[in-house]
Every structure is written in C-alpha cells, then in structure tokens.
Amino acid sequence: MKDDNFLRANNARHMFHPMGHPGDALAHAPTIITKAENSSITDIDGHQTVDAVGGLWCVNLGYSNNVVKEAIAKQLYDLPYYSAFAGTSNPAAIEASYAVREFFEDDGIGRVFFTSGGSDSVETCLRLARQYHRIKGEPGRTKFLSLKKGYHGTHFGGASVNGNNRFRVNYEPLMPGCFHLPAPYTYRNPYGETDPVFLAQNIAAAMEDEILFQGAGSIAAFIMEPIQGAGGVIVPDASFMSLMREICDRHGILLIADEVITGFGRTGDWSGSRHWGVKPDMMCTAKGITSGYFPVGAALLSEEVAQVFETADETGAIYHGYTYSAHPVGAAAVTACLSETLRLDTRTNAAARGTQLYEGMLKLAEKYDFIGDVRGGHGLMTGVELVSETINKTPMDMETMKRVHKTAYDNGAMVRLGGNNILMSPPLIITEAEVDQVISALDKGFAEA
C-alpha cells in the first residue's frame, strides 16, 4: 500500500468519480476514508465520524460484520468465480437463491435473478417485463410509467424511467415510451396539494388519465420506489402504493417495486412494499443484500410471473444476464448477510432509531426556519430540505449546503447532500447515542448556515 503522501498527491488525479464534476474533484480533494468500524468511519487525517450515509444507503449491518467477511474469504478459496449462464451453477448461488426467496416469501417472491447491482436489477426488471407480455401474446406492451423524483439507476432503461432531470439531461435521447407521473411529494407538487391522502388520489387520477391516453395495451409496467430515496426521501401516504397496485391490476400492467434502498429492513420492515401492504410483480434489489461488502443485486419475480417464463415455449428463454450474475463470492456474501440481518433483527432497530432521528430533525426544524421540510419516520431514511426563504420555497444555495455538510462532518456526522436535501441512511445497527451524535452534529451545521 502506498503511503499517505502518495494518496494525497494522487487523489482524483487518475480517477473520474461517479456523480461528480472531475474538475471539482481536482479543486477540492475528496475525503479519503481509510477505515471503518460498526457505524463509524475514519478518514486519512484520523478524524472519526458516525456514517449517517451508511456508505451509500447500503451498509445495513455496519462495517464490522465478521460473519459476512469470513463467508466472503472462505468462498474466495473454495471457488472464486464460475459462470451461471445456462448449463452451469455453483453451490453458493444455489444457497443464496434459496435464502433470498425465503427472505421475501411474504412478499410473494418466487424466483431470483442475480445481477451486479441496483442499476442492473432495474434493467433486468424492465427487460423481463416486456418479455413477460410478449410471452403472454401482448408484444405491444412496451411502455413504462414511473414517478418524478424517482431514482432507478444509470443504465439507459433506468435513466429513462428516472424522475430527476439532473440524471437524464446529459444523456438524452433516452429510451422512448417512458412517461412520468407527479411524485407523492406534499412539499412541492403541481396540484399545490399538501394533504398526503388527497395528493395520492390526485396522482392515481393522473395515472388513470395517462393510461387512457397511452392505451393500456401499450404499457408493460409501472416502476416506483416504496419510499423515494435519492429524490429526497419522499414518503407517500399509506394508501398510495396500494392505489397504484389496484390501477396496475385493472389494466394488466406489471408493478415493479424498486427496493434497492428500501429492501432488507431499512424502512423498519423487510421490504418497503410490505410496509404499505402491497405485493409487487417484480422487485429490484441490491445494496442491503450484501450490506455493500460485495457488489450484488437481484431482480425478483413473483411466483405468477416466474411461472409464465417457466411454462412458456421458446419465447420464455431469457437472453439477458451478466458475467457476474450469481457470482459465487457475491452469493456467499448474500447468504451470510441475510442470515445476519435476520439474526440481528435489524428492522426493529431501524424502526426505533429511525423514529429518533426523524423526531430529532423535527425539533431542529422548530429552531431553524430555513428547514422547509423534514421527511422520514419510516425506518432509517431521513431527508431534510433546506430553503433560503419559505414563501416561495427557494432551494438553499449549494455553497450553504456544503457548509452545513462540512460543519456536520467536523462535528462527528457524515451526511449526504442531494441538491438542497440532506439525506441520511445510517447502518441499521446504529445506536441511540450515535443517532444523538448525528442530530447534534447537524444542529451545529445548521447553526453555521
């Protein structure tokens, strides 16, 4: 390993960072994280903070889970790689597929298609949704509906259903046939509706209207996050997802739940869909499936959808997959991670600590009038939206946002900025004292702003 001087001198010199301006990375050295333990991270200067980001909404078990680490190490020695393309398999993948299916049994999940991450899982669901309709004799069902503010990764299909302009505009034209409905975002929406129940009904009406306009027979699937993450932690009314489910059912449209963030306990239950009492037709997962220890995702199919493929003629053959689908080392990480997730019952702590963090932010909102909106209350996903004035809800400028971020970091909490939102998604094993530390560090950050 090169020494610290080498690392500082070469920081961002040879690497383009994802989701950032390469020039910025040269001008403002990215923080080099060198070590991590439980819910804390340490940077190259030896400064330790609570990781209120959980890596990137993913390190659900924290950084010190030796069961997962040992499973990965052992698998590297037993079988570091073999392909799972038609004709071969491996023991780790067989065991992992069993574990994932069992984990999501109550969500009606019947089969698992392994991928290398969230964007792959989204792409897999979108492609299999079209194929599902083709098998069923409806090849005209090719379009997709989604929500504004949604985030579905960066592949072309996912970016096309993405609902944030920022992730789309540089890469247009995107995939045709994708249409976006308003987000269940009470703080800002085209109806000026602040009541979450009425907003849910307005969006349902807009969805019906769009389906009528496009023709139901042209739509393959509707994709949504049970709680929108990267878009700013947008929590819909409890009725919202089941309204969407009912409309999809009535029009033969598949419902894809993008559970890349919300899966595996983050919302206080094992899936976000379950939280809202909905069984999706397909689920996109990643992140918490290995707690970020190995890049794995999975597209999950309901029993009914799976059987359509299994019993089909040649149209059921899936000409889609990744070199690293069902990677044995990733698969070993999945099995160990799910067993630890269940053993530690992480959803219960996520619910309790999530309430503590959310209430802490609500208290800060009484103190600082530039906090326009606080969102969360369902597990460890919390968003705080800052505005420079409250009447027009003008988004806070980025300079101030960065000052809040830096002051919070200096005072013991790594948070994430998503535009004018502060986003938090700490490990699900975070302690009460650590949540207090995050609240107090942000208090200092807001005072600085």
The answer to whether the CB of 124 falls within 8 A of the CB of 219 is no
237 or 258, CB closer to ligand PMP? 258
Rounded distance, CA 286 to CA 292, Å?
8
122 or 203, CB closer to ligand PMP? 122
The widest CA-to-CA distance across the chain, in whole angstroms, is: 64
Sign of CA pseudo-dihedral 375, 436, 359, 379 = positive
63 or 151, CB closer to ligand PMP? 151
Min dist. Cβ of residue 225 to ligand PMP (A):
5
The answer to whether the CB of 214 falls within 8 A of the CB of 143 is yes
Which position's Cβ is nearest ligand PMP?
A: 118
The answer to whether the CB of 350 falls within 8 A of the CB of 379 is yes
Rounded distance, CA 418 to CA 228, Å?
12
Min dist. Cβ of residue 138 to ligand PMP (A):
26
151 or 294, CB closer to ligand PMP? 151
Rounded distance, CA 17 to CA 138, Å?
42
Min dist. Cβ of residue 152 to ligand PMP (A):
5
Min dist. Cβ of residue 260 to ligand PMP (A):
4
Q: Interior CA angle at 177 toward 175 and 183, to 5°?
A: 95
The answer to whether the CB of 358 falls within 8 A of the CB of 377 is yes
97 or 119, CB closer to ligand PMP? 119
The DSSP bridge pattern shows strands 143-147 and 219-224 to be: parallel
Min dist. Cβ of residue 379 to ligand PMP (A):
14
Amino acid at 325: S
Min dist. Cβ of residue 286 to ligand PMP (A):
5
Q: Which residues bind to ligand PMP, rule: CB under 6 A?
A: 117-119, 122, 151-153, 225, 229-230, 258, 260-261, 286
The answer to whether the CB of 109 falls within 8 A of the CB of 307 is no
Min dist. Cβ of residue 57 to ligand PMP (A):
6
54 or 360, CB closer to ligand PMP? 54
109 or 135, CB closer to ligand PMP? 109
337 or 371, CB closer to ligand PMP? 337
Min dist. Cβ of residue 437 to ligand PMP (A):
25
Structure tokens at 163: 């609902």
Rounded distance, CA 266 to CA 288, Å?
8
User: Which residue in this structure is represented by tokens 């019993």?
Assistant: 311
Buried-exposed string 138-152: b where 16+ CB fall within 10 A, e elsewhere: eeebbbbbbbbbbbb
User: Which residue in this structure is represented by tokens 């160990």?
Assistant: 336
